[in-house]
Chain A
Amino acid sequence: MNTTAISSNIQVITGNAAAAIAAKLARPDVVAAYPITPQTEVIEQISSFHASGDMDCELITVEGENSAMNAVMAASLAGGRVFTASSSWGLVFMYDAVLATAGARAPVVMVNVNRETPGIIAVSSGQQDMISTRDAGWIFLIAENCQEIMDLVLQSYRLAEDYDIQLPVMVHYDGFFLSYLSEGVEIPAQETVDQFLSVLESQPKRTMLRPGEKLGVGTHGILGGYMELRHKHVTAMERSKAKFDAIDQEFADIFSRSYGGQLEEYLTEDADMVLVGSGSMCGTIKSVIDEQREKGIRIGLVKIRMYRPFPHQALVKALKGKKAIGVVDRSLAFGFDGGPIYTELKAFETKLGGAKLVSFIDGIANTDITKTNVKQMIQMTADLADGKDVPEVTWVSYPKANKDKGEK
C-alpha cells in the first residue's frame, strides 16, 4: 500500500528541520528542550509550530537539559508521548536523568545532534557524545542524511512505545554536517504517519502513573529484584533488534523507503573488502565505492544504523568471509588500539571467518572525511587483504599521530 505518492511533499530542509517536522508528525503530548548548538533549530522550529497552533503539545521551555530529560521522563511514565532534543554537553548535563529514564523503561524519543564533548568550545562534529553514553540503556540509532533523520524519528516511536520493547530511543545525527545541511526531504502526510503509528493503539496499554492509583516509579532496588530488572532490560534490548528490522519493513510498505533495519548494506554481497561506518560519512563512502567499483575493486559498505544494542549478529552475517574490514570511527576509546566501534567489532573477530580488521579514526572535531581520505582507507584495507603490513589504527587526517606514538 503506497499512500505517500498522493499526499506527501518534498521540501528542501535542514536535518534539524527534518527532526522537528518528524516530531510534529508523531503528535507528542509533551516536548521539553533546551537550546544548544547545533541542535537549537530543532526546538526553534517546534516552538514556532507550537506558537502557530500547528503542534498541539505541552511545550516546556526548561532552564537546562537536565530538566528537559526529567520532564519528558515523568510525562512518559504518566502515559504521554514525548520528545526532546539535545547535543554533546546538553546530553552530558542530562546524563543522570538519561540513566534514570532507561532504568524506568520510559519510552522517550529524542534526537542527539552529535558534537564533540572534550573541549568546552569544541563546537564541532564528532560522535564522542554518543560513545560516552553508549551503555546508558537506550536504543541508539544513527541517521545518514536528512531524509533518514525524518524516517528514523518516526520509526523510533514505533520502537520505543512498542509493548514488547518499552525503551527510550535516541536518534543520532552528525552536527554541522547534517544539522545545517539542506537537502530534499519527502515529508509524509499526517494521515500516513497516523496510520503508521496507530499499531501502538491496538497494543496493551503500558503501566501509567495516574492519580489515585496505587502505583510507584523508582523503587530502591538491590540484589535479586534489581538483577531481575536489569536482565529484563537486556532482553528487551535484544528483542529490539528484530523489532527494528520488522518496523523498517512495515515502514517500507507504507512510505516506500527501506533502509535494511539494523544495518544498511551497500554492495557487500560480492565484496572482498568492506568499510564499516555510520552517519553522514556513509554518503561519501558510497560515492567512492561507486568509483572504485568501476575500476573493478570489490569494495562494499556496512552502515551501522542501530548502534545500541550492538547488532553483532547482523554484523557477523554481513561481514563473514570477507578478506578485510576497515572500521571508521569518529570517536576515541582510551587504552585500545583503535576506535570504539572497531574495538567492539573486534570482540566478534573469531566469528568472521578469518576476516582481518583495521581501524580508522577520522572526522573528529569537524574534520571532513573527504573522498581522498576514504580512498586511502580503501587502499589500506586492500593492502591488509593482500597480506601487507598495515598499522592497526590510522588517524587518517592527522598523519603525525601515526608517526609519533610517544608525543606528549
Chain B
Amino acid sequence: MAEKNKARLTKVLDYLKYDDPFSKGVSFCPGCGLELLLRFIPRVLGNDIIITGTPSCSAPVLLGQNKQSWHTLSYFGTLMTGAAANATGLVRYYKKAGIDNTVVCFNGDGTANDIGFGNLSGAAERNEPFIYICYDNEGYMNTGIQKSGTTPYGATTTTTPYGTVHKGKNLRRMNLGVKMAMNKIPYTATATLSDLEDLAKKLLKAKKAKERGFCFLHVFAPCPTGWGANPADTIEICRQAVKTNYFPLWEAENGKIRMTKTVKKPKPVSNYTKLMKKFNHMTEADLEILQEDVEYETCLLGGLSVLEAECQLPVSAQD
C-alpha cells in the first residue's frame, strides 16, 4: 500500500519541471487554495509565462504592494472589467511581432463570472490564443466575503448574511465552466487542488490547445477564511467537492464534454458542506435543495456529453 502511494506521488511531482518563482513567504491567508494553484501553474507551464491579474486576493502577491511583486514572472496587473481584453492585446501584439508566448489570464470568480464576463465572452468568441484560469472561491473574498455569481445556494456571505427574513444566498450558483464550454472553444476544463495530476495534465493540454485558440480552466479553490473552514482542510474540501459531485472534474475539446473523473457512488453533499461554517445554518430541507441542484448539474453534464458525442461540430468551426 505504501509503495503504491509513493508511486502516485512521484507521478505528480514529475509534472513540476520548473522552479517555483514565488517568494517562500507571501501574504496569503493560511490554507489558501489560490496560493497552491498560483505556485503550481508556473512550475508546470514554465517561468516564461506572462501572468495577468486584477485587484483581488491574488493582487498583493501577483502585482506587488508599492514596489515589487512577490515573484519573478512577467506580469500585467490591471482592472477586473477588462482582464481578458488585456490578455487579448498582449497576444495579438506578440502574434504581429512574431514573439512566442504563453499568456495566462488569472482571475477570481468575481472577474470571470461577474464584472469581467463580457470581455471573457468576447475573447472566447474571437478565439483569442491564451489561457484563462478562473480560481473560484465562490465570492468576493478580498473585499471581505461578499456574494458572487458562483456563491452556492444557502451560503452566507457579508451580502447574503443569515437573518430572520433571509438566510444566506437564496439563488443557485452559475455553472461557469459549462457556460464557457458551450462556446466551443478549443479547450475547457474544470480542476481542483485535490487532484493535482489531473490539474497538471489540463494545464499542459491548455498550453497545447492555445495554439488553436482560447482555453478556459475553471479551478475550484477553497477560501478557509471566507468559508469558515479549518485551514488544514483545504485539500479535504476539494476532495469532498469532487466525491459529492459538487464540483465534477471534466474537460471539453471544442465543446465536447468528457468526464476526467467519474464518481461512481457520489456521497451526499452534506459530506462537503459540513466542512465549513458558511452552510452551518442550513436545515435538512435547505440542504436537499442544494443536493438536488448538484444532481441536476451532474445530470445535465452527463446529458451534454452524450449529446455532444451524437452531434458533430463542423470541422471548420473547430480550428
| Residue B270 is within 8 A (CB to CB) of chain A in the complex | no
- Those of B89-113 within 8 Å (CB) of chain A: 89-90, 92-97, 99-102
Question: Which residues of chain A are within 8 angstroms of B66 by Cβ–Cβ distance?
Answer: 219-223, 225-226
A64 and B118 in contact, given A30-B92, A215-B74 (Cβ under 8 angstroms): yes
Q: Are B60 and A220 in contact (CB under 8 A)?
A: yes
CB distance from B166 to the nearest CB of A (A): 32
| Residue A135 is within 8 A (CB to CB) of chain B in the complex | no
| Residue A80 is within 8 A (CB to CB) of chain B in the complex | yes
Q: Are B76 and A217 in contact (CB under 8 A)?
A: yes
Q: Are A214 and B72 in contact (CB under 8 A)?
A: yes
| Residue A61 is within 8 A (CB to CB) of chain B in the complex | yes
**Surface stretch bound by A, among B121-129, B179-187, B197-205, B283-291:** B121-129
Q: Are B97 and A62 in contact (CB under 8 A)?
A: no
**Surface stretch bound by A, among B31-39, B79-87, B215-223, B308-316:** B79-87
Question: Which residues of chain A are within 8 angstroms of B99 by Cβ–Cβ distance?
Answer: 210-211
- Those of A316-345 within 8 Å (CB) of chain B: none
CB distance from A244 to the nearest CB of B (A): 27
Size of the chain B interface, CB-CB below 8 angstroms:
47
Q: Are B93 and A78 in contact (CB under 8 A)?
A: yes
Question: Which residues of chain A are within 8 angstroms of B77 by Cβ–Cβ distance?
Answer: 216-220
Per the bound structure, the CA–CA distance linking A76 and B88 in Å amounts to: 12
- Those of A209-256 within 8 Å (CB) of chain B: 209-223, 225-226
CB distance from B55 to the nearest CB of A (A): 8
A77 and B76 in contact, given A63-B125, A67-B88, A225-B66 (Cβ under 8 angstroms): yes
Q: CB within 8 A of B74: which of A29, A71, A212?
A: A212
| Residue A267 is within 8 A (CB to CB) of chain B in the complex | no
A74 and B78 in contact, given A62-B122, A67-B119, A222-B66 (Cβ under 8 angstroms): yes
Per the bound structure, the CA–CA distance linking A73 and B88 in Å amounts to: 10
Question: Which residues of chain B are within 8 angstroms of A66 by Cβ–Cβ distance?
Answer: 81-82, 85, 118-119
Per the bound structure, the CA–CA distance linking A96 and B87 in Å amounts to: 16
Please name 19 pairs of A and B residues whose Cβ atoms are closer than 8 Å in the assembled complex, sorted by A. Answer: A29-B93, A32-B88, A58-B93, A63-B121, A63-B125, A64-B119, A66-B82, A66-B119, A68-B85, A69-B85, A70-B88, A71-B86, A78-B90, A96-B82, A211-B48, A211-B99, A211-B100, A217-B75, A221-B66
A-B pairs with the 5 shortest C-beta distances? A218-B77, A70-B82, A74-B89, A63-B122, A67-B85
Binding site for A on B (CB under 8 A): 47-50, 59-60, 63-69, 72-79, 81-90, 92-97, 99-102, 118-119, 121-122, 125-126
